[in-house]
Structure 1
Amino acid sequence: MEYFTVKFIHVLGVVLFLGNIIVSALWKTQADKTGNPVIIAFACRLMNMTDLAFTALGGALITIGGIGLFHATGIAISDAPHLTIGISLFGMAAMLWVTGLVPLQIYMSKIASRTVQAGDQTMPPAYEKCRKLWNIIGLIAVILPLATLYFMIYR
């Protein structure tokens, strides 16, 4: 692939990925502050949908574009330690997302949905425990890609 094509794919992936993780975190945090199970359930459901549509797609485009850029530029990864660090940080963020955030989000969505169906006006303690853990893992999962962005641009 031509350099500008793979660079466009890579940058588009970064925009989708970073944009969605930051907006989703803000969106869900604000929904949680309301304490309203209907709003929380709505936010959880849409966060799961947008993660699949934008975070996963963005991550795939970042990977495809990154591999394409290595081929297009002929850079050896051993000659670019900043890229090795960036790729490692991105991989750690992806692992946190797949093994921590997504399962928590699905579980939290189920709790919120059941709470709404039951007609309860407050979220149960199980949701609060998950929310606290999600906030901690989520903060790390946002910082890692931002650090990745720094190392990918730094030369």
Structure 2
Amino acid sequence: MDYVVVKWLHILSSTFLFGTGIGSAWYMLFANVSRDVRAIAVVSKYVVIADWLFTATTAIAQPATGFYMMHLAGYPFHSKWIMWSVALYVLAGACWLPVVWLQMRLRDIAAEAVRTGSTTLPPLYWKYFKTWVALGIPAFIAFVFIFWFMVSKPV
């Protein structure tokens, strides 16, 4: 496959990956700030779907296209910017895996609250939500730095 095509796929998938993450975080955060149980249930349902459709698929596409571009361009794996990018990607992935589980739990707890007619969410929900936020922050920062390394390719 041509380098430009692979690069385009890499950039496109990074856009979906980062964009879905930012968008999901934004809507999930503000649905929770509203404390409207019905809104939280709806938003968390679609955040989980978006994560599986976009984040999971692009999380696979990113390293596949990235390593293939390295091969095509002749970049050595031991280049510092590549090693940093990979390490930060692993960090972001290590944050994302529990986030997916947390989002499914948040979705289920909110859906149950709606089914039972509750207008509040239990303390466990808010504990999970705080953990979700705490894991999202380092993942976001990692992706910002990954973008920097990919664009600047510092020596």
Paired residue for 1:123?
121
Q: Percent identity?
A: 27
Contact 1:37 1:112 in 2 (8 A): yes
Q: Secondary structure at the match of 1:75?
A: coil
Which structure 2 residues correspond to residues 49-68 of structure 1 after superposition, within 5 A? Answer: 49-68=49-68
Pairwise CA distance, 1:67 = 1.5
Paired residue for 2:87?
88
Q: How many equivalent residue pairs?
A: 153
Gaps of 5+ in 1: none
Q: Distance in 1 between matches of 2:43 and 2:137?
A: 18
Q: Distance in 1 between matches of 2:77 and 2:68?
A: 13
Q: Distance in 2 between matches of 1:84 and 1:94?
A: 15
Q: Which residue identity lines up with residue 16 of structure 1 in the other structure?
A: F
Gaps of 5+ in 2: none
Contact 1:70 1:76 in 2 (8 A): yes
* Equivalent in 147, 150, 153 of residue 151 of structure 2: 153
Q: Distance in 1 between matches of 2:13 and 2:61?
A: 5
Paired residue for 2:109?
111
Q: Which residue identity lines up with residue 110 of structure 2 in the other structure?
A: A
Pairwise CA distance, 1:144 = 1.1
Q: Secondary structure at the match of 2:81?
A: helix
Q: Which residue identity lines up with residue 26 of structure 2 in the other structure?
A: L
Q: CA RMSD in A?
A: 1.0
Paired residue for 2:18?
18
Q: Secondary structure at the match of 1:77?
A: coil
Runs of 4+ in structure 1 off by over 3 angstroms are none
